[in-house]
Amino acid sequence: MFNLKVLQRNKTVKYGVPMLLLIVGGSFGLREFTEIRCDAQKHRRKLDPSLEAKVNVQRQSVILEDEYEKMKQLNLEEWKNIRGPRPWEDSREYQEQQRNRQNKKD
């Protein structure tokens, strides 16, 4: 009886042990909830098999050499860098200004 009263008065037993149990138990609980969430996301991401087959065919058909040949055919000597409109500028007005400047240079 005496030992039980001493333990109840001890601050480490009264506050420390429950806090430690909360931290350790919480980490295990969070792991389980996170695992459930990840499994649910994987389940949602699954594609229809026919659509997945089309996507895989498109991925495999892209070959680096073919893309290089396409880029080589482009005429990059006449390419001009045109700045886009700033957020505070009216995009239509700015596009008209750029077109007018380009027409005057040609």
Each residue of 68-89: pLDDT tens digit?
A: 888 888 887 877 777 777 888 7
Split into its structural domains, the chain has a count of 1
Q: Give domain status of residue 104, yes or no.
A: no
Residue 50 in domain: yes
Q: List the domain range (segments joined by +) for residue 24.
A: 2-81
pTM: 0.35
Asked if residue 61 belongs to a domain, the reply is: yes
- Tell me what the mean pLDDT of segment 16-42 comes to: 89
Instruction: Please tell me the predicted confidence (pLDDT) of residue 23.
Output: 94
Report the pLDDT averaged over residues 28-44.
Answer: 85
User: Per-residue pLDDT for 50 more than 80?
Assistant: no
Q: Is the pLDDT of residue 39 over 90?
A: no
**Inside any domain, residue 101:** no
**Within a domain: 92:** no
C-alpha to C-alpha distances, 39 to 30, 31, 46, 52, nearest whole angstrom: 14, 12, 11, 20
